[in-house]
């Protein structure tokens, strides 16, 4: 398939559908990169080795006789700390004698069909006919064994990487850095694209030139978070939305991460992707091993858009649950912005009744259904229905909602305990805390220590009791604060650096146990809106609440940034009330629907408060969405006009090029607003018909565009459905 080894040159060549990745075993067992980029027809590219460097260290080894060679200028496959490579390192291990000098030399390798899962962590899948894997076995003189794992997908321009570190010695060792992937490029001219943000403004896109030194995008909050996403791309000179070279890097991990790009004095660029080493340490007893999370690397010679579409296709086919990918997702109405905490059974049933008349499929009851939860100050962890609000409990509510033809969903925040809760009063030791220090509080809540087995069992048992008590078909899983005072009362002092990672492993275990027990429940992820939106969460949660900001003009920007790495079928997008609860902006109901239809569609409002005219519009939105959602869920996205100016436009095209859905939004009113938008992704030789029966040749739409000229006001939109005529 995609992996070849040429023993005469000791060269490995990894070929995907559009890229080649080549490295070799050099003198002394050094694992040395040679090339990553567009697919090559030859493997013998040893001339690409960098051998020059002024005042660089040279290893004194009988096996290394090239005095021009230095680890400090080598294109290292997995750069180690303290052995002559002074750039940022991928691995650092404190040895039994207390020093942290680490080396990584080739011993042997194995190539096999398919791809093996990572114990205790999510990863992308690949059967024997889909992927091929290389395991490269390396060793340090201390006995530390490092296995570099590469998996290649021939039908995607994707390579995944990870590392396994094993203590093959006789004394304990401490892993202090363990990145998943490293790549050295032989020029310094990249721009870095990354996704930053905060609550209500997630995944904003930033592009900047890399300068000499180290540029880091990271999280140290215990979660991948709002502020930085575990994705970055290196853009070659001249890269645009639809042309030029782009290299994307994404970490399949939900905890502290770091993506580091270093430009050195010799004009080389190194990028590292992995667990954030700040606050991290992992003790390995003899014979034990540590697995890093998986890094996904994608190459595109068709710009940022090509990179995004490649990632979207790859994640749909190899990361997301096939069950929920193919099944029509329910159109939900969430009661949060309709009622906040002020609801009872009768109010919920009235919402469900009105929703059923409109074609909505699911009522999701948000925060406030449990314990004594009438505001955000109490009861997290006390997962028992509040019968003062819900007489007869969840069972009776489910029966009444189901009788109207709707499913019932519930909001949980399973990883938390309120300070005012029965759970915290009974088990304060179950929270993450550092002895002798005050516990920081946020949103009146603490974080449960998921590194503890008893805590994990409690969460699974308490949620299972609720999900078994009534016909619950949908769970919205929230996470509203980050980790502080990160210590665990059950871990010894030399293992406290493991808390962050053990928390994440505990989270994965809890979710897996619940999903195995309730395979027909649809789980949606959430973290104060769109925090912790990463590939690992998407492995478990096929859709994710993209942001608490439901203002459509703000959502266009958020959904645009999210689409850089993540497919539309993962973006949960709702139509909310106007004026918007976050920004106060007024926008047409049609536009709110058009923007929400760019992902998994739903509502975040009170349908009983709609006028007759609004109800007719909602019926139209739902009917059109259900008719066209396959285009969005399975289609290729083309970002036609970014939301940086007066307009924004995008479109989805089905893989067979038979159908397309184009959306245009006027972000700001313009005087004399002449506006033409060129479409993309269509078959140039096919004729397409829009909803009004007008016919267009695909090549004309892509070369001349649609004429959107008109006096549209702020926030007004147009959506055009295109269907190819039979050939």
Res. 687: pLDDT tops 90: yes
Reply yes or no on whether the pLDDT at 26 is more than 60. Answer: yes
Radius of gyration of the chain (CA): 27
What value does the mean pLDDT take over residues 51-60?
61
Distance, in Å, from the CA atom of 84 to the CA atom of 91, rounded to the nearest integer, reads 13
Residue 595, φ and ψ in degrees, nearest 5: -70, -45
Residue partners of 694: CB distance under 8 A and separation at least 6? none
What was the pLDDT predicted at 49? 85
Confidence of residue 638 (pLDDT cuts 50, 70, 90): very high
- 129 exposure class (CB count in 10 Å sphere: 0-12, 13-18, 19+): exposed
Distance CA 140, CA 107 (A): 10
**pLDDT tens track for 364-406:** 999 999 999 999 999 999 999 999 999 999 999 999 999 999 9
In this prediction, residue 264 carries a pLDDT of 93
Residue carrying structure tokens 């019926």: 619
Mean pLDDT value across residues 182-198: 96
664, burial (CB in 10 Å: exposed 0-12, middle 13-18, buried 19+): buried
Strands (E) in 372-441, as ranges, are 407-412, 416-418
Q: Token pair for residue 280?
A: 């991290």
pTM above 0.85, yes or no: yes
Helix axes 453-469, 499-517, angle to 10 degrees: 30
> Helix axis angle, 345-358 relative to 393-403, nearest 10°?
20
Catalytic (active site) residue 367? no
β-bridge partners, 364: 334, 409
pLDDT digits (tens, 9 = 90+) for 604-632: 999 999 999 999 999 999 999 999 999 99
pLDDT value, residue 664: 96
For the chain, the domains span 3-318, 322-545, 647-724
Contact 408, 470 (CB under 8 A): yes
CA nearest 259: which of 225, 290, 229?
229
Q: Which of 478, 534, 549, 551 is an active site residue?
A: 478
pLDDT of residue 672: 63
CA distance 315 to 571: 13
Supply the pLDDT for residue 62: 39
Residues in the chain, total: 727
Q: Give the model's pLDDT for residue 56.
A: 63
CATH entry 1.20.950.20 includes domain 322-545: no
**Can you tell me the distance from the alpha carbon of 694 to that of 101, in angstroms, rounded to the nearest whole number?**
70
Q: Which one has a higher pLDDT value, 675 or 69?
A: 675
Nearest CA to 225 out of 504, 434, 583, 498 is that of 504
From the candidate CATH numbers 3.40.190.10, 1.25.10.10, 3.40.50.300, 2.60.40.1180, the one assigned to the domain spanning 647-724: 2.60.40.1180
Catalytic residue status for 551: no
The tens digit of pLDDT for each residue in 690-710 reads 999 999 999 999 999 999 987
Confidence class for position 669, pLDDT limits 50, 70, 90? confident
Decide which of 522 and 668 is more confident.
522
CATH number of 3-318: 2.70.98.60
Report, as an integer, the average pLDDT of 355-365. Answer: 98
Indicate if 322-545 has the same CATH topology as 3-318: no
Q: Is it the case that residue 55 has pLDDT exceeding 60?
A: no
* CA 552 to chain centroid: 22
Q: For residue 590, what pLDDT is reported?
A: 97
Average pLDDT for residues 335-352, to the nearest whole number? Answer: 98
Residue 50 has a pLDDT of: 78
Tell me the pLDDT band of 711, cut-offs 50, 70 and 90: low
361 pLDDT above the threshold of 50: yes
Instruction: State how far the Cα of 87 lies from the Cα of 84, in Å rounded to an integer.
Output: 9
Cross-strand pairs, 652: 637, 661
- pLDDT category at 680 given cuts 50, 70, 90 is very high
Q: E strand or H helix at 259, and its extent?
A: strand 257-263
Cβ atoms 589, 241 nearer than 8 A = no
pLDDT at 63 over 50: no
- 58 to 84, 439, 566: CA distances (angstroms): 7, 50, 44
261-278 pLDDT, tens digit each: 999 998 999 999 999 999
Instruction: List the catalytic residue out of 548, 551, 636, 683.
Output: 548
Mean pLDDT of 536-555: 97
Report percent pLDDT > 70 for the chain.
97
Considering only 95-104, 396-405, 571-580, 645-654, which range has the smallest mean pLDDT? 95-104
């Amino acid at each position: 398939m995609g992996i070849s080894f040429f023993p005469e040159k000791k060269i490995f060549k990894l070929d995907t559908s559009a890229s080649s990745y080549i490295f070799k075993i050099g003198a002394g067992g050094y694992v040395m990169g040679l090339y990553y980029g567009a697919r090559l027809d030859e493997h013998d590219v040893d001339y690409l080795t960098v051998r020059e460097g002024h005042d660089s260290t040279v290893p004194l080894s009988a096996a290394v006789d090239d005095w021009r060679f230095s680890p400090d200028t080598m294109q290292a496959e997995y750069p180690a700390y303290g052995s002559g490579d002074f750039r940022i390192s991928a691995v650092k291990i404190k040895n039994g004698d207390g020093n942290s000098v680490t080396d990584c030399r080739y011993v042997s390798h194995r190539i096999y069909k398919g791809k093996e899962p990572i114990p205790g962590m999510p990863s992308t899948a690949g059967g024997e006919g889909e992927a091929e894997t290389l395991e490269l076995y390396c060793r340090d003189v201390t006995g530390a064994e490092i296995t570099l794992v590469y998996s290649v997908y021939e039908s995607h321009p994707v390579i995944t990487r990870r590392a396994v570190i094993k203590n093959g010695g006789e004394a304990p060792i401490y892993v202090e850095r363990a990145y998943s992937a490293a790549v050295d490029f032989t020029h310094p001219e990249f721009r870095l694209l990354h996704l930053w943000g905060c609550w209500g403004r997630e995944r904003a896109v930033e592009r900047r030139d890399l300068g000499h030194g180290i540029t880091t995008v990271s999280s140290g909050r215990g979660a991948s978070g709002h502020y930085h996403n575990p994705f970055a791309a290196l853009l070659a000179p001249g890269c645009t939305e639809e042309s030029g070279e782009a290299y994307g890097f994404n970490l399949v991990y939900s905890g502290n991460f770091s993506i580091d790009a270093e430009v050195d004095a010799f004009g080389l660029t190194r990028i590292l992707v992995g667990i954030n080493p700040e606050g991290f340490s992992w003790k390995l007893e003899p014979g034990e091993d540590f697995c890093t999370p998986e890094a996904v690397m994608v190459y595109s010679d068709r710009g940022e858009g090509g990179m995004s579409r490649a990632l979207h296709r790859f994640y749909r086919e190899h990361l997301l649950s096939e069950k929920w990918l193919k099944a029509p997702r329910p159109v939900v109405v969430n009661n949060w912005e309709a009622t906040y905490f002020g609801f009872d059974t009768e109010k919920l049933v009235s919402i469900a009744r009105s929703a059923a008349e409109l074609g909505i499929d699911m009522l999701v009851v948000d925060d406030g259904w449990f314990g004594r939860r009438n505001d955000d100050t109490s009861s997290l962890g006390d997962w028992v229905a509040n019968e003062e609000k819900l007489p007869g409990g969840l069972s009776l509510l489910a029966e009444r909602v189901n009788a109207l033809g709707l499913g019932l969903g519930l909001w949980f925040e399973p990883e938390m305990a309120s300070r005012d809760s029965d759970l915290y009063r009974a088990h304060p030791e179950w929270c993450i805390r550092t002895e002798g220090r005050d516990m920081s509080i946020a949103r009146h809540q603490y974080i449960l220590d998921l590194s503890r087995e008893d805590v994990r069992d409690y969460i699974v048992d308490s949620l299972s009791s609720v999900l078994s008590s009534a016909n619950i078909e949908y769970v919205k899983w929230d996470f509203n604060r980050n980790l502080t005072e990160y210590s665990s009362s059950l871990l010894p002092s030399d293992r406290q650096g493991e808390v962050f990672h053990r928390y994440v492993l505990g989270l994965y275990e809890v979710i897996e146990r619940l999903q195995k027990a309730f395979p027909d429940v649809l789980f949606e992820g959430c973290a104060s809106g769109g925090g912790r939106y990463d590939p690992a969460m998407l492995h478990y949660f096929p859709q994710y609440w993209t942001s608490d900001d439901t203002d459509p003009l703000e959502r266009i920007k958020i959904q645009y940034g999210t689409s850089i790495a993540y497919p539309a079928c993962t973006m949960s997008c709702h139509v909310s009330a106007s004026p918007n609860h976050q920004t106060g902006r007024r926008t047409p109901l049609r536009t709110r629907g058009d923007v929400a239809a760019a992902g998994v569609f739903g509502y975040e409002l009170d349908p009983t408060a709609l006028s007759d005219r609004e109800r007719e519009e909602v019926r139209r939105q739902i009917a059109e969405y259900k008719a066209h959602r396959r285009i969005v869920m399975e289609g290729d996205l083309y970002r036609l006009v970014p939301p940086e100016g007066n307009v924004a436009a995008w479109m989805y095209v089905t893989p067979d090029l038979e159908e397309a859905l184009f959306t245009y939004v006027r972000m700001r009113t313009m005087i004399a607003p002449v506006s033409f938008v060129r479409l993309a992704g269509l078959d140039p030789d096919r004729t397409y018909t829009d909803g009004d029966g007008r016919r267009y040749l695909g090549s004309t739409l892509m070369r001349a565009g649609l004429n959107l000229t008109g006096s549209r006001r702020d926030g007004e939109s147009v959506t055009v459905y295109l269907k190819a005529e039979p050939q």
